[in-house]
Amino acid sequence: MNLNFTYPQVLFGLFLILIPIIIHLFTFRKYQHIFFHSIFLLKETQKEDTKTRRNLKEILILLSRIFAIIFLVFAFAQPYIPVSETRAISNNSPISLYIDNSFSSQNETQEGNVLEVAKSKAYHIIEAYPPSQQFYIVSNTPDPRNNIALNKARAIEKITEIETTPFSEPLSNIYARTQIRSSSEAHTLYLLSDFQTYSSDIENITGDSLIHVSYIPIIPQKTNNISIDSVWFASPYRIKNQTETLHIRIRNTGTDSYTQHPIELYIFDTLRSVSSFTIEPESTQEIVLEYSIPQTGSISGKVSINDYPILYDNTYFFSYTVKTTNTVVSIYDNTPTPHISNLFSYDSQIQQSFMKSSEINYADLSQYDAIILDGLYEIPSGLTQHIAKHIQSGKTAIVIPPELCNIASYNEYLSAFTFQRFEDKDTSQTQIQNIDFSHSIFANLFEKNNTENIRYPQISSYYRTQPALRNGIISLHNQHAVLQNISNSDGACYLFTIPFSTRNKDFLTHPIFMSLYNMIQLIKNNNTIQTSIGEPLITNKPTRQSDKPIHLVNTEKNIDFIPQIRQFSKLNTIALYTFNSITESGIYSLSLADSIFKDVAMNYARDESNMNFLSAETISERAGEQGLQNFSIYSETSTHITQSIKKQTSGIQLWRYALILSLVFICIEIMLIRLWHRLSRNRMTT
pLDDT score, position 219: 86
- Computed over every residue of the chain, the mean pLDDT equals 86
Sign of the dihedral defined by the CA atoms of residues 114, 118, 124, 125, in that order:
positive
Report the interhelical angle of 51-77 vs 18-26 (nearest 10°): 160
% pLDDT > 90, the chain: 44
Helices (H) and strands (E) in the chain, counts: 14, 36
Q: pLDDT digit string (tens) for 107-119?
A: 888 888 899 999 9
- pLDDT: which is higher, 556 or 54: 556
Cβ atoms of 441 and 235 within 8 Å: the answer is: no
Average pLDDT over residues 129-153: 88
Least reliable range by pLDDT among 272-281, 341-350, 421-430, 670-679: 670-679
pLDDT score, position 117: 93
- pLDDT: which is higher, 484 or 92: 484
Sign of the dihedral defined by the CA atoms of residues 203, 208, 209, 214, in that order:
negative
pTM: 0.77
How would residue 552 be classed by pLDDT, with cut points 50, 70 and 90?
Answer: very high
pLDDT score, position 655: 84
Q: How do the residues of the chain divide into helix, strand and coil, expressed in percent and rounded to 5?
A: 30, 30, 40
pLDDT score, position 1: 60
Q: pLDDT digit string (tens) for 617-635?
A: 999 999 988 888 888 888 7
Q: Estimate to the nearest angstrom the gap between the alpha carbon of 520 and the chain centroid.
A: 37
Least reliable range by pLDDT among 16-30, 75-89, 541-555, 651-665: 75-89
pLDDT score, position 677: 73
pLDDT score, position 195: 94
Residue 581 DSSP SS3: coil
Least reliable range by pLDDT among 358-372, 493-507, 638-652: 638-652
How would residue 84 be classed by pLDDT, with cut points 50, 70 and 90?
Answer: low
- Strand 211-217 vs strand 226-233: parallel, antiparallel, or unpaired? unpaired
Q: Is the pLDDT of residue 489 over 90?
A: no
pLDDT score, position 224: 85
How would residue 83 be classed by pLDDT, with cut points 50, 70 and 90?
Answer: low
Average pLDDT over residues 496-520: 92
Q: Any residues with CB less than 8 A from the CB of 22 and at least 6 apart, and which?
A: none
Q: Which DSSP string do the residues of 341-359 spell out, in sequence order?
A: HHHHHT-TTEEEEEEEGGG
Residue 488 DSSP SS3: coil
Q: pLDDT digit string (tens) for 577-613?
A: 988 889 999 999 999 988 888 899 999 999 888 888 9
Separation of alpha carbons 303 and 271, rounded Å: 10
HEC string of 316-341 equals: EEEEEEECCCEEEEEEECCCCCHHHH
Q: Where are the alpha helices (DSSP H) in 472-563?
A: 505-508, 515-521
Average pLDDT over residues 307-315: 89
How would residue 86 be classed by pLDDT, with cut points 50, 70 and 90?
Answer: very low
Separation of alpha carbons 229 and 247, rounded Å: 11
pLDDT score, position 88: 43
Average pLDDT over residues 220-228: 87
Q: pLDDT digit string (tens) for 388-416?
A: 988 888 889 999 999 999 999 999 999 98
Separation of alpha carbons 88 and 93, rounded Å: 10
How would residue 640 be classed by pLDDT, with cut points 50, 70 and 90?
Answer: confident
Separation of alpha carbons 177 and 182, rounded Å: 9
pLDDT score, position 524: 61
**Between the ranges 175-184, 192-201, 460-469, where is the mean pLDDT highest?**
192-201
For residue 426, how many other CB atoms are within 10 A of its CB? Answer: 17
Q: pLDDT digit string (tens) for 40-80?
A: 555 554 444 456 667 777 888 888 889 989 989 988 888 87
Residue type, 573: T
Q: pLDDT digit string (tens) for 286-305?
A: 999 999 988 888 899 999 99
pLDDT score, position 366: 86
- pLDDT: which is higher, 194 or 682: 194
- pLDDT: which is higher, 110 or 252: 252
Q: Is the pLDDT of residue 19 over 80?
A: yes
How would residue 664 be classed by pLDDT, with cut points 50, 70 and 90?
Answer: very high
How would residue 329 be classed by pLDDT, with cut points 50, 70 and 90?
Answer: very high
Q: Is the pLDDT of residue 36 over 70?
A: no
* Longest Cα–Cα distance in the chain: 164
